[in-house]
Chains A and B, each alone.
Chain A
Amino acid sequence: MELILIPIIAGVLAALAGKQSRWVALAGSLVSLGITLFWLAGFRYGASFQYVFDKAWFSQGIHFRTGVDGISMVLLLLTNILVPVILLSALRNDKRNAATLFALIVGMQGALNGVFLALDGLMFYIFWELALIPVYFICALWGEGNAFRTTLKFFIYTFIGSLAMLASLIFLYSRTPDPSSFGYEALLAVNLNHTEAIWVGAGILLAFAVKIPMLPLHSWQPDTYSEAPAQGSMLLSGIMLKMGLYGLIRWFFPLVPEALNVFGPVLIASGVIGVLYGALIAIRQNDMKRLVAFSSLSHVGLIAAGIATVSVEGMQGAVLQMFTHGVNVVGLFLAIEVIQSRAMTRNLDALGGIAKQAPVFAVFFLLLVLGTTAVPFTNGFPGELLLLKATFGYKAVWGILAGITIILCAVYMLRMYQFSMLGKPSGGIYLFPDLRWNEWMAFGILALLVLWTGLFPQYLLDLCGPAIQKTMKGILDSTGVVS
Chain B
Amino acid sequence: MMQNLALIILSPLAGFLITGLIGKRLPEKVTGWLGSLAVLVSFVLSISVFNQIAANPAGMHQKLFTFLSVGSLQIDFALQADRLTALMMLVVTGIGFLIHVYSIAYMHGDAGFYKFFAYLNLFVFNMLVLIMGANFLMLFFGWEGVGLCSYLLIGFWYENAEYGKAARKAFVMNRIGDLGLLLGLFLIIFEFGSLDYHTVFEAAARGDHNLGVITAICILLFVGAMGKSAQIPLYTWLPDAMAGPTPVSALIHAATMVTAGIYLVVRCNTLYHFAPVAQELILYVGIATSILAALIGLKQNDIKKVLAYSTVSQLGLMFVALGCGAYTAAMFHLTTHAFFKALLFLGSGSVIHGMGGEQDIRRMGALKASMPLTFWTFLIGTLAIAGFPFMSGFFSKDEILAEVFVHNKVVWALAVGSALLTSIYMLRLFFVTFLGSFRGTDEQKHHLHESPWMMTVPLAILAILSIGGGLLNLPEIVGGGMAHTLKHWLEPVTGKPAGEHAISHGTELALMGVAVAMLLGAWLYTRNKYQSKGVVPEADEAQEGTGRLLSHKFYVDEVYDAAIVQPVNTTGEILYEQADRKGIDRIVNALGNLWVWLGGLYKKVQNGNLEYYLIFMVAGLILIVGFNLFR
Segment from A55-63, A73-81, A107-115, A406-414 that makes contact with B: A406-414
Asked whether, in the complex, the Cβ of A285 is within 8 Å of the Cβ of B576, the reply is yes
* Pick from A377, A415, A461: contact of B168, CB under 8 Å: A415
- Once the chains are docked, how many angstroms separate the CA of A415 from the CA of B69? 34
Interface residue stretch chosen among A187-195, A310-318, A435-443: A310-318
Q: Which residues of B contact A424 (CB under 8 A)?
A: 159, 161
> What's the count of A-B pairs with C-beta under 8 Å?
132
A 193-207 to B, binary, CB cutoff 8 A, 1 in contact else 0: 000000000000000
Is A382 a contact of B67 with CB atoms below 8 Å?
A: yes
Q: Which B residues lie within 8 Å of A411 (CB)?
A: 168, 172, 568
At the interface, yes or no: B70 with Cβ under 8 Å from chain A?
yes
- CB contacts (< 8 Å) of A403 on chain B: these are 179, 182-183
Q: Is there a chain A Cβ closer than 8 Å to B481's Cβ?
A: no
Q: Is B190 an interface residue (CB 8 A)?
A: yes
Is B159 a contact partner of A423 (Cβ separation < 8 A)?
A: yes
Q: Give chain B residues whose Cβ lies under 8 Å from the Cβ of A355.
A: 158
Q: How far is the CB of A350 from chain B (nearest CB, A)?
A: 15
A345-395 contacts to B (CB < 8 Å): 353, 355-356, 370, 375-377, 381-382, 385-386, 388-389, 392-393
B140 touches A313 (CB 8 A): no
Contact of B569 among A216, A284, A376 (CB under 8 A): A284
User: Which of A222, A400, A410, A458 lies in contact with B66, CB distance below 8 A?
Assistant: A458
Nearest CB in chain A: distance from B165 CB, A: 8
User: Does B172 lie within 8 Å of A410, measured CB to CB?
Assistant: yes
The residues of A that contact B158 with a CB separation of less than 8 Å are 355, 421-423
A400-B183, A423-B161 known; A313-B71 Cβ under 8 A: yes
Which partner residue on chain B sits nearest A418 by CB separation?
A: B164
Expressed in whole angstroms, the minimum distance between the Cβ of B416 and any Cβ of chain A is 37
**Contacts A407-B176, A461-B68 hold; do A418 and B186 have CB atoms under 8 A apart?**
no
Question: Is A157's beta carbon under 8 Å from chain B?
Answer: yes
Measured CA separation A356–B111 after assembly (Å) = 10
Contact with B along A316-346 (1 / 0, CB 8 A): 1100000000000000000000000000000
**Shortest beta-carbon distance from B284 to chain A in Å:** 24
Q: Is B592 among interface residues, defined by CB-CB distance under 8 A?
A: yes
| Contacting residues, chain A, for B145 (C-beta < 8 A) | 375-377
Q: Which residues of B contact A353 (CB under 8 A)?
A: 159
B26 within 8 A of A: no
Q: Which of B572, B589, B592 has the most CB of A within 10 A?
A: B572
Which residues A175-220 have CB closer than 8 A to chain B?
216, 218-220
Whole-angstrom distance between the Cβ of B386 and the nearest chain A Cβ: 38
A-contact 0/1 string along B117-146, CB 8 Å cutoff: 000000000000000000001001110110
Return the CB mask of B49-74 against A: 1 if under 8 Å, else 0.
00000000000000001111111010
**Chain B residues whose CB sits within 8 angstroms of the CB of A375 once the complex forms:** 144-145, 148
* Neighbouring A residues of B568 by C-beta, 8 Å: 280, 283, 408, 411
Known: A283-B572, A375-B144, A456-B65. Is A389-B186 also a contact (CB below 8 A)?
A: yes
Closest B residue to A157 using CB positions: B588
A472 to chain B, nearest CB (A): 10
Asked whether A404 is an interface residue with its Cβ less than 8 Å from the other chain, the reply is yes
Contacting pair B573 A284 (CB below 8 A) = yes
A219 in complex: contacting residue of B172, B179, B580, CB < 8 Å: B580
Residue A281 at the chain B interface, CB threshold 8 Å: yes
The residues of B that contact A156 with a CB separation of less than 8 Å are: 592
Question: Smallest CB-CB separation from A384: which chain B residue?
Answer: B182
Contact A418 B168 (CB under 8 A): yes
Fill in one digit per residue for B166-207: 1 if any A CB lies within 8 Å of its CB, else 0: 011001100110110011001001100000000000000000
Contact assessment for A407 and B172 in the assembled complex, using a CB-CB cutoff below 8 Å: yes
Distance of B162 from chain A, by nearest CB (Å): 10
Q: Is the pair A216, B584 in contact by a Cβ cutoff of 8 Å?
A: yes
Q: Name which of B161, B165, B171, B576 has the most chain A CB atoms within 10 A of its CB.
A: B576
Contacts of A456 in B (CB 8 A): 65, 67
Tell whether B477 is near chain A: CB-to-CB under 8 Å: no
> How far, in Å, is B196 (CB) from chain A's closest CB?
16
Q: Contacts A356-B159, A376-B144 known; A407 to B168 CB distance under 8 Å? A: no
Instruction: Report how many residues on chain B are interfacial, defined by Cβ distance under 8 Å.
Output: 50
| B585 in the interface (beta carbon within 8 A) | yes
CB distance from A312 to the nearest CB of B (A): 4
Pick from B70, B164, B171 the residue with the most CB of A within 10 Å. B70
* Interchain CB contact (< 8 A) of B592 among A153, A216, A462: A153
B408: Cβ under 8 A from any A Cβ: no
Question: Which residues on A sit within 8 Å (CB–CB) of B148?
Answer: 370, 375
Which chain A positions have C-beta within 8 A of B71?
Answer: 311-313, 316
Contact A404 B576 (CB under 8 A): no
In this assembly, does A277 line the interface, its C-beta being within 8 Å of a C-beta of chain B? yes
Q: Are A414 and B172 in contact (CB under 8 A)?
A: yes
With A393-B186, A400-B183, A457-B67 known as contacts, the answer to whether A277 contacts B161 (CB < 8 A) is: no
B131: min CB distance to chain A, Å: 15
Q: Which A residues are in CB contact (< 8 Å) with B528?
A: none
**468-508 of chain B: CB within 8 A of chain A:** none
Contacts of A283 in B (CB 8 A): 568-569, 572
Q: Residue B539 at the A interface, CB < 8 A? A: no
- A354 to B68: give the CA distance in the assembly, Å: 37
Contact of B140 among A280, A376, A462, A465 (CB under 8 A): A376
Q: Is A161 an interface residue (CB 8 A)?
A: no
Q: Which of A281, A355, A465 has the most CB of B within 10 A?
A: A281
In the assembled complex, the CB of B115 is this many whole angstroms from the nearest CB of chain A, namely 9
Contact A422 B155 (CB under 8 A): yes
Given A392-B183, A392-B186, A423-B161, the answer on whether A382 and B68 have CB atoms closer than 8 Å is yes
Inter-chain CA distance A277–B578, complex, in Å, is 12
Give the distance to chain A from B210, nearest Cβ to Cβ, in Å. Answer: 14
**Interface flag for A28 (CB, 8 Å):** no
Task: Determine if A399 is an interface residue (Cβ-Cβ < 8 Å).
Answer: yes
Q: How far apart are the CA atoms of A220 and B140 in the complex, in Å?
A: 37
Chain B 558-586 interface residues, beta-carbon cutoff 8 Å to A: 568-569, 571-573, 575-576, 579-580, 584-585
A458 touching B584 by the CB < 8 A rule?
A: no
Which residues of B lie under 8 Å from residue A423 when comparing CB positions?
A: 158-161, 164
In whole angstroms, how far apart are the Cα atoms of A385 and B571 in the complex? 27
Q: How far is the CA of A388 from the CA of B140 in the complex (A)?
A: 15
Which residue of A220, A377, A407, A458 is within 8 Å of B68 (Cβ)? Answer: A458
- The residue on B at minimum CB distance from A223 is B585
CB distance from B501 to the nearest CB of A (A): 38
Instruction: Give the CA-CA distance A291 to B510 in the complex, in Å.
Output: 62
| Chain A, residue nearest B589 (CB) | A153
**Chain A residues, CB < 8 A from B190:** 393
Q: Which residues of B contact A281 (CB under 8 A)?
A: 572, 575-576, 580
Within 8 A of B (CB), among A201-245: 216, 218-220, 222
Instruction: Please indicate the chain A residues that have their CB under 8 angstroms from the CB of B572 in the complex.
Output: 280-284
Q: Mark B222-257, 1 if CB is under 8 A from A, else 0.
A: 000000000000000000000000000000000000
Q: How far is the CB of B365 from chain A (nearest CB, A)?
A: 33
Smallest Cβ-Cβ distance to B77: which chain A residue: A455
Residues 254-282 of A contacting B (Cβ, < 8 Å) = 277, 280-282
Q: 19 A-B residue contacts at CB 8 Å?
A: A277-B575, A283-B569, A353-B159, A376-B142, A376-B144, A389-B186, A403-B179, A403-B183, A406-B182, A407-B179, A411-B172, A414-B151, A422-B155, A422-B161, A423-B164, A424-B161, A458-B65, A461-B69, A461-B70
Other than the given A280-B568, A456-B67, A461-B70, 20 more pairs (CB < 8 A) read: A157-B588, A219-B580, A219-B585, A222-B580, A280-B575, A311-B71, A312-B70, A313-B71, A316-B71, A376-B142, A382-B67, A393-B186, A399-B186, A407-B179, A414-B168, A414-B172, A456-B65, A457-B67, A458-B65, A458-B68
| B residues at A contact (CB < 8 Å) | 65-71, 73, 137, 140-142, 144-145, 148, 151, 155, 158-161, 164-165, 167-168, 171-172, 175-176, 178-179, 182-183, 186, 189-190, 568-569, 571-573, 575-576, 579-580, 584-585, 588-589, 592
Nearest 5 Cβ contacts at the A-B interface: A312-B71, A284-B572, A422-B158, A219-B585, A376-B141
